[in-house]
Amino acid sequence: MSELLAWLIFPDMMRVLVQAGSFLPWVNPDLSVVTLAIVSMVAVLVIACPCALGLATPTALMVGSGMGAEHGVLIRSGEAIQTLKDVRVVIFDKTGTITKGRPEVTDMVVQENGSSGARRARDLLYWAASAERGSEHPLGRAIVERAEAEGLTLAEPQSFQAVRGRGVIATVDGRRVLVGSRRLMEDHDIDPTPLEETMRRLEEEAKTAMLVAVDGELVGVIAVADTLKEDSIDAIRELHRMGLETAMITGDNRRTAEAIARRVRIDHVLAEVLPDGKVAEVEKMQDRFGLVAFVGDGINDAPALTQANVGIAIGTGTDIAIEASDVTLVRGELTGVVEAINLSRATFRKIKQNLFWAFFYNVVMIPLAIVGWMHPVLAEIAMATSSITVVTNANTLRRVEIRPEYARRSTPPLSPGSAGPSAQATVRP
């Protein structure tokens, strides 16, 4: 053992190594030990410069963020890219996310034998639309737009109250009008049973049915339906192919929600959720699945977007939702969710490759520099080459196709400068 330690003393070790490497033109056994030691020291310092290691992650993140912007996916931080690849379940808000957010009135059913309310569909529409004039909810706006399209002159409500998650209560022409769900009617001692079968039929057709009551008497039901976005079914199918679970959250009753979920093949349905209950539902999904992404567009989606591990805002939605999100989809298509996850996975594959090459370079080159077989000039060339290799490999990320095949056939990536209405969102690689 003592002989081994004596051999490892620097001058003796250097002498042996120099003799072993004397075939190299820059390894001269006639040089002094001090000179050889200085040459080795300089080579080690140059080789050990962590340039490649320092470039491995930020270059890939920068290229990934830029590539996302080209596809209309604006990513606010590197943390969002990192988290997206590990997401287990994607939760979608319904209105304006899975659907277009432009509902239309499809059915109007007048309650027979009504004495104080509507005797015709136009009467039913008059009461409901007049009551909804003060509402900003998309369903209420759909009723008002239908009345205006039919040329009805609506009354200005003397009073108006929006009951969150239930409907509206208004005073129209001195009469008390309620428009909303079964729960709203039951809360005011109005029995919805006479129209239960009609409600059930409409809800099974994926329509949102709203009861209308005047002065405490049920007078009819108005059904509103929203059209699915063109890519909703394809995008959710692609997420399933990628091994992800999907969920839909909505304030609609369960039958309507399940009818829509069947059409788009959503795995989990979270129905009859009040706006302030979305955060709790997201927390439950996090406890059950782990990392969760939430996709929404409205003001009441902002808390859920913040609670989720990754919040994804539809670019055509509200500014509050966009500000609360980590990712903004400029086009407003669900295909952007697929692209964002594909981009995250591809980016981190490149980061792993870059880290491998950076460590491989150090593991191979540093021992050669230590033993004096690496001239400082060659060490500098090797160091520069390693950095160039990492940067070049990061740029090959642009060759990766993140847009799913079904979308490639229809819409090309965004050209520079055409980022759309949400281009104000900043990208911070």
Question: Which residues are catalytic, by number?
Answer: 93
What is the DSSP secondary structure assignment for residue 251, as one 8-state letter?
Answer: S
The gap between the terminal CA atoms of the chain, to the nearest Å, is: 54
Which amino acid would we find at residue 276?
A: D
Q: What is d(CA 20, CA 264) in angstroms, rounded to the nearest whole number?
A: 70
Which amino acid would we find at residue 382?
A: A
User: Residues 6 or more apart from 187 whose CB is under 8 A from it?
Assistant: 166
Indicate the pairing of strand 245-249 with strand 89-93. parallel
Q: What is d(CA 401, CA 408) in angstroms, rounded to the nearest whole number?
A: 9
The closest of 393, 428, 396, 365 to 50, measured between CA atoms, is: 365
Which amino acid would we find at residue 152?
A: L
**308: three-class secondary structure by DSSP:** coil
What per-residue string of b and e applies to 148-161 under the rule 16 or more CB within 10 Å gives b?
A: eeeebebbebeebe
